[in-house]
Structure 1
Amino acid sequence: MARKFFVGGNFKMNGTLSSLKGIVNTLNEAKLTSETDIVIAPPSLYLIPLKEQLRKDIAVAAQNAYLASSGAYTGEISATQLHDVGIPWVIIGHSERRALFFEADDVVAKKTKAALDAGLSVILCIGETLQEREDDKTIEVVERQLTAVKKELKDWSKVVIAYEPVWAIGTGKVATPAQAQEVHHKIRAWAQKSISQDVAENTRVIYGGSVTAANSRELATQPDIDGFLVGGASLKPEFVDIINAKVSKL
């Protein structure tokens, strides 16, 4: 069975209730392909009101969850709490959290396991810095990040891997379709070698890093690119075109 295309919108720490409701209204009224799974990730404060307003064929995701289910962790939200209020997805391991909050590979791995154990689906972010790319360490880095998660997981069926080269996030730079395809192919080869043929064939590997309506259609033609995790463009009307990138008739 072919992997279903997947497009996520990471709003990051952007928007107000009013402006984000405007984005939801745009999505609610848009003609969107049924051949793509769609998820939006607003700031946690707005998860519930936007979920209540959003059309049913679009899911919501938290941008982070802590690795413990409860306890004295001021300011954190657990995967158990997210599941309790009906939030089905969470983004784990985004490079901004790895850098700003010093989330090491093992922490990301434990967060991923905690989210899955709580019943959530996970968008697992991996990717190399510009220096690592220039040092020809891209594959070494992504395999290291994935290996840490592999040590914690037995079931990958509710994981979407988001390859996001750090040098392309919010910079306007984007990996060429060939560059992105090469890494995605290597990720799938790693999964086949390290986990199983089934995981390699069925796990969706999506691309993130300055994805726009202008470049999404060509990226979507690559055989191992199963969708996108979109940052800034998810806050704009062009997000509709990115969602529909795989279906030219729309």
Structure 2
Amino acid sequence: MTSKALALGVALAALTFAPAALAQSQPGGGGAPIVVQAVVDRPALTLAAHGEVKVAPDMATVNFGVVTEAPTAQEAMAQNAARMAEVTAALRRAGIDPRLVQTSGLNLSAQYDYVENNPPRLRGYQASNRVTVRVEDLARTGQVVDAVVAAGVNQIDGIGFGLKDPSAAENEARVLAVRALQEKAALYAQALGVPLGGIRNLTEGGGYVPRPPMPMYARTEMAADGMATSVAPGELTVRIDVTGVYDLQR
């Protein structure tokens, strides 16, 4: 083989095994060449699915308040403080740990009487102290409500139900979500008539969100003859959303 033929063979071999790239000279012939890389993406399938678990709540959150009115701001606040002290003592007697009681709002505002064609007339002051209580023994929720009302609470804003530890329910929902995603991916691949490859990417969304407090009238029934308030907690839904990207084999 001549040296010219050998050189040509080496050049052809280099072209065969080199990456798919083309070199173009810049206009005018000056400077470095511009490299255009030919990239062929693998076909992929992007899908979303979710898993849901129904679970009974094991705790409650009760929002209530004490509202007092008096001719002066000082009197309104003093009366409110005295009544809240009784409410706090009632919570302790009901077995509520102080760490589960949190002030959620404190307000003092002037109150006016409005008469047509007359300037507003100051009637007095209103003090409001709102508290959020976490009841970890769900069966005692109605008793706690009755205890604070008997101690002086005159405003109940709502009650919500939740989970002390949602991790078990979330993990169960995750398994269901991934199973649903796998089944959907297999179905699409079968419909397309191509083998399903491995999963390239997986992202998660959703998770446990405590149910917001609802008005008491929507959640409780006051029994007659002085019996305890009946509370119906129902059930909660824990949902996990997943999105996956699967390779499709050629």
Normalising by structure 1, report the TM-score.
0.21
Greater gyration radius: 2
Q: Which has the higher strand share?
A: 2
Larger relative contact order, structure 1 or 2 (CA cutoff 8 Å, min sep 6): 2
Q: Which has the higher helix share?
A: 1
Normalising by structure 2, report the TM-score.
0.21
